[in-house]
Structure 1
């Protein structure tokens, strides 16, 4: 029973943006499972689910290995400590970093899998990001500036 429930939970969070335990419990009930809030809470802990920022700007449950979490946190720290300026022109975003940090900051950007990025090119102290549209470039600048200040 537990294994099938865990499998269903993973299937649900991989197909839908689930923000709360209540939403997850409701989805499990829709699939025919009798479940309590306490059981959902225990399952989340056992599966080591975390909340990540979705492309829509809301948090959702996801699976991630401890190594990936550690690496992602380190890269975000490097990004926030090395970026000097972020600006956009049309659908290009330009990120200026301290000398020698462009590649590390670009790796942080790439590891976040942000929506709307076509690709990145990193130099010694500059990163060019091609966004899918002017709107996506603007959204990206806002997200990156938030990261820069964290």
Structure 2
């Protein structure tokens, strides 16, 4: 019961404010009457599947990548728009360059698109390699992602 109330409060907080660190989130929760440790915050972030994206102010912030089909396109487009610098297809692969530290968030957004042409994604710090099932599908994937961003 307490956990679900805390999770609801976390989602409310990150929807209203740009929260960059676990410490900031813990402080906001404490101000709302939740006494939490850093370990609890870390577990909550994993359970809620929060990720960090670059905000329009140039700071990172926690966001939810929802699987609700009505909201997913906007959230994924936002993650990709805020992180992707370039995208190109090379044979049956797609290479995406992102802002430093953003590749895993962008790759998670791409994975959540659940596109059948994608065989798998590998993310480093600022580069994503996407293995695609055919040359034509690689070019199609580049078009789809460019359209999102």
Output aligned runs, 1:34-73, within 5 Å: 67=68, 69-70=70-71, 73=74
Deviation at 1:70, TM superposition (A): 4.0
Deviation at 1:114, TM superposition (A): 1.3
- Segments of 5+ residues of structure 1 without an aligned counterpart are 1-64
Three-state SS of the structure 2 residue aligned to 1:85 is strand
* Residues in 2 aligned to 1:144 and 1:89: alpha-carbon distance in whole angstroms: 15
Tell me what 1:76 maps to.
77
* Residues in 2 aligned to 1:70 and 1:80: alpha-carbon distance in whole angstroms: 16
Q: Deviations over 1:106-131 (max 9, x none)?
A: 00100011121000000110000000
Q: Deviations over 1:22-69 (max 9, x none)?
A: xxxxxxxxxxxxxxxxxxxxxxxxxxxxxxxxxxxxxxxxxxx88564
Q: Based on CA coordinates, which of the two structures has the bigger radius of gyration?
A: 1
* Residues in 2 aligned to 1:67 and 1:91: alpha-carbon distance in whole angstroms: 30
- Segments of 5+ residues of structure 2 without an aligned counterpart are 1-65
* Residues in 1 aligned to 2:67 and 2:98: alpha-carbon distance in whole angstroms: 28
Taking only aligned residues, the RMSD between alpha carbons, in angstroms, comes to 2.0
Aligned pair in 2 of structure 1 residues 66, 103: CA closer, same or farther (>3 Å)? Answer: closer
* Residues in 2 aligned to 1:105 and 1:133: alpha-carbon distance in whole angstroms: 22
Aligned pair in 2 of structure 1 residues 89, 76: CA closer, same or farther (>3 Å)? Answer: same
Whether the aligned pair in 2 keeps the contact of 1:75 and 1:104 (CA below 8 Å) is no
Output aligned runs, 1:1-150, within 5 Å: 67=68, 69-70=70-71, 73-148=74-149
Deviation at 1:73, TM superposition (A): 3.1
Whether the aligned pair in 1 keeps the contact of 2:67 and 2:112 (CA below 8 Å) is no
